[in-house]
Each structure stands twice: as C-alpha cells, then as structure tokens.
Amino acid sequence: MNLTNSADVTMPQTLAQKLIARAAGKKHVEVGDLVTCKVDLAMFHDSSGPRRLKPMLDELGAKIWDPSKVVLVMDHYVPAQDADAKRIVQIARDTAKEWKLPNVIDSEGICHVVLPERGHLHPGMMCVGGDSHSPTGGAFATYMFGIGATEMLGVVVTGEIWVQVPKTLRMLWSGRLHHGVCAKDMMLHMIGRFGMNGGQYQAVEFAGEAVTALGMQERMTLSNMSAELGAQVGLIGADEVTTAYLQSVGVKQEDLRNSSDWQGDQDAGSEDFHFDASNLSPQVAAPHSPANTKPVADFINAPFDVAYIGACTGAKLEDLRAAAQVLRGQRIAKGISLMVAPASARDQAQAEREGVMQVLRDAGAQVLPNSCGACAGYGATFEADATIISSTARNFKGRMGPASVQVYLASPWTVAASALRGRISDVREFL
C-alpha cells in the first residue's frame, strides 16, 4: 500500500489535512472542504457489524467492496452470557464465513487494542470503525473515526466516505509526567477542562515533549479518549516509537517508509492549548461524567466497593504492569473486590510471562475474560447501589449496571492504590 504524502510541502498543513488530502487524492485541502475519501480499512464488531449490516446488504443485493480491507472483532458480547448474546455472536460468526472475511478476531480482546497489535494500522491510512472509540487509531498517525451502521453500509459497498475537513485543536504538553501519573490522567484533565463536547467534532492533535515520551499503548489511551472530548479524531504524529511498535507486530518496512511524513506542520494554523505535564497530579472523575474531573486530592478517602481494571483505556499491558507495581507483595483491603479484565489475550499472555498476572492474583484480583465486559454494559456489570473505581473511559449513569451504580474514573495506578486502602487514594504515597 503506497501511502506517500502527496501534499504540497510549501503549504503548511495540519496532520488531519495531510491525511485527508492523501485519502482524497488531493495535494491540499482546506478546513471546511467536503471531500470524498478512499477508505483503507473498515472495522466493526459483533455489536455494530453483521447483525446490523447483513440485513441491509441483503436487501440491496450488495456485496462488500473488498473483504481484505474489513476486520471483524468479536469483543462486546463474548463470552456470551445469555441467549440473546449467543444469537448475536452466532450471527457474526456465520456472516463472517458467508462473506469470506479473512480478518476475523474472535474473543481475543477489545477491537481498539487487537486491531493495531495485529498490524492493521499504520501511518497515512484512512480508516473507519463501528465504535465510538475508533479514534484510538489516531495514535498511529491514522485518520480513524467512528461511524454508525448507515454510514458503514455506504463504506462497505463503495469503499468510500465523505469527510468535512475539520479544524485542528492541538494539545501541547511540555515537561514530563511524574511516576504514577499517566496518559489517563492527561486525558481526564483535558476533559475536565474542556468538557465532553470540547472537541466540537474537530480534530484533536496531541504533541509536545510529554506526548513524544509516551509509549504506544499510552498514546493509544490519549487518542481513544479524544472521543470523550467530542472530537472526530485524536491524532499523534508518527515517529520512531510508532515505527518500532509497528515493526514489532509485523508491519512491513515498505509500508512504513514514509512514516516520518505524517506530522503536522508547526505553522499550519491549528488552535493551540498548552499544558505542563510536570505539574499534573493523578486525576479522578466523579459520577456520572468524565468531565467531573478534579485532582485525586479532592476525592481522598471516598469509599467504594469494587476496583475495576479493564477496558481499552485501562487494561493494556502497560496498565497491567502499572497496577502490579503498586500491588506487588500486598493484598487488597478487606471487603473490597478487585476485578481485572486484560484488554487482549496477547497482552495477558505477555503479562503472564512477566509474572504481572500472578502479582495481581496474589493481591486478590479476580481475572475476567479479554472483552469489553462491564465497560460496555455486557457480562460482568455491577449490582444496584454499588460504588466502583474504574480504569474505563466512561462513567455514565446506567452504563455499567443499574442507574444506582456510582462509577469513579481513574488511572490503573490510582485504581490499584485505592484497592489497597479501600478508599480512593493517591498512588504517589505507595511508590
């Protein structure tokens, strides 16, 4: 796949403009332009995919434009908990065979994590996903955003989608994060500052010393939760960290030869916001919105019943390692439940080899399947009136159980530290 940047190098462009221009076959696009883009990859899962798309495709008598450019992930309704879930998963599996889809990932992890770890994303691509957290792909300098079933129908039939070129909001993070403070804290802080609609369906680009210092999985957390800012995409320019990760998961060198092109130009006309990572403390979002974020000091000693380490924003390998650093050699507080749902089977296997999973078990953790689980409101949801501290991305009322469930959001570091004390705690006291 040739993803050479065709933009005119004399005309400054944001990363979003460069990616859209490439997909639209143009040298340059302006903010506000409405263009038709070629789609390099479409991802959907058991909830958003076949059960919705198959009836519409059958009615039209249409077929998928290129099955090799489609990835189906079974992650929401697995393992199936009831007859309805079994039916939905079976539809997905049967349809995958009927459509002869070559890229099916079944019960091996959350779509936003398994997609890049299988090498499906690399810099310069235009991708769509049948899930609101599809902007995760932006961590790889991929223009990836979430769409609904009707838009996905158009994509899988034509291989194209229209895009209105967005304005770019650039989040510039100087300095370095302190030990125990991570990308999740950065995102909660930004959401607390700008609100759930602060991105105004624009492109958000993360840059600066603190961002480039992050590993790929931490960058994925930033891009993922740009959805909570209301952004269409959450982009990070490609660099040696990007290419090293992608080479490690099998992406061919020929597909990475132009990776360094995929950076936003400094004078491209973005709206810039400045943050100092060295001044950031652990953050916590109170029920029932990620925008209810304040420093952890405002929540010290707040009680809860369950500590949950899961989801695409909070249970990747780096997240599991963080929790293990806090919990090593200790036991969680009496009366507290600690649940850990690793984001992918590969990450869990590596964590097993490193002894990370045993540390979590020894501390009292119950290990759950590699799926969206409680975050998406399926399977291991919580009982009425329970209070949870969770590493997930959202804490909306009724999302993770009955409306009476109260969910605080925090980083895996903070969730683990809080589990030890049985009250919301500052992880820095444990490190």
Which of 56-70, 159-173, 198-212, 354-368 is the least confident region?
198-212
Does residue 193 register a pLDDT over 50?
yes
- Domains of the chain and CATH, by start: 15-276 (3.30.499.10), 283-429 (3.30.499.10)
Interatomic CA distance for residues 30 and 76, integer angstroms: 38
pLDDT confidence of 5, banded at 50, 70, 90? low
Q: Are 337 and 382 in contact (CB under 8 A)?
A: no
Q: Mind listing the pLDDT tens digit for each residue in 330-340?
A: 999 999 999 99
Instruction: Give me the pLDDT at residue 7, please.
Output: 46
Q: What is the mean pLDDT of residues 59-83?
A: 96
- Contacts by residues 367-370 (CB-CB < 8 Å, ≥ 24 positions apart): 367/340, 367/341, 367/342, 368/310, 368/339, 368/340, 368/341, 369/78, 369/79, 369/107, 369/341, 370/75, 370/107, 370/108, 370/109, 370/110, 370/341, 370/342, 370/343, 370/344, 370/345
Phi first, then psi, for residue 262 (nearest 5°) are: -90, 70
Show the tokens assigned to 269.
């006309």
Flag whether pLDDT at 262 surpasses 90.
yes
The rounded mean pLDDT for the chain is 95
pLDDT surpassing 80 at residue 3: no
Distance, CA of 155 to CA of 137 (rounded, Å): 18
H or E element, residue 3: none
Give buried/exposed letters for 103-115 (b at 16+ CB in 10 A, else e): bbbebbbbbbbbb
SS3 (DSSP) at 419 = helix
Rounded distance between C-alpha atoms, residue 111 and residue 135, angstroms: 12
- pLDDT score, position 11: 87
Which pairs with CB-CB distance under 8 Å and at least 24 residues apart come from 294-300?
294/192, 296/410, 296/414, 296/424, 296/425, 296/426, 297/426, 299/408, 299/424, 300/423, 300/424, 300/425, 300/426
In the chain, the amino acid numbered 41 is L
User: Residue 28, exposed/middle/buried by CB under 10 A (0-12, 13-18, 19+)?
Assistant: middle
3-class DSSP state of 285: strand
- Please give the single-letter amino acid code of residue 153: L
Closest CA to 309 of 318, 301, 300: 318
Q: What's the confidence (pLDDT) of residue 201?
A: 77
What's the rounded mean pLDDT across residues 119-138?
A: 97
| pLDDT score for 376 | 85
Average pLDDT over residues 178-206: 93
**Residue 31 exposure: Cα atoms within 13 Å on the Cβ side:** 15
State the pLDDT confidence band at 197, using cuts at 50, 70 and 90: confident
pLDDT at site 378: 79
Question: Which stretch of DSSP H or E encloses residue 178?
Answer: none
The answer, yes or no, to whether residue 4 has pLDDT greater than 70, is no
Least confident of 1-15, 113-127, 170-184: 1-15
Q: How confident is the model at residue 8 (pLDDT cuts 50, 70, 90)?
A: very low
Q: Look up tokens 């403070």; give the residue.
A: 181
Average pLDDT of the residues in 284-313: 97
Lowest mean pLDDT among 279-288, 364-373, 376-385, 391-400: 376-385
So what's the pLDDT on residue 199? 63
Per-residue b or e along 124-137, where b marks 16 or more CB atoms closer than 10 Å to that residue's CB = bbbbbbbbbbbbbb
* Residue 372 identity (one-letter amino acid): C
Is 90 exceeded by the pLDDT of residue 9?
A: no
> According to the model, what pLDDT value does residue 377 have?
83
Full-model pTM: 0.96
Distance, in Å, from the CA atom of 217 to the CA atom of 183, rounded to the nearest integer, reads: 9
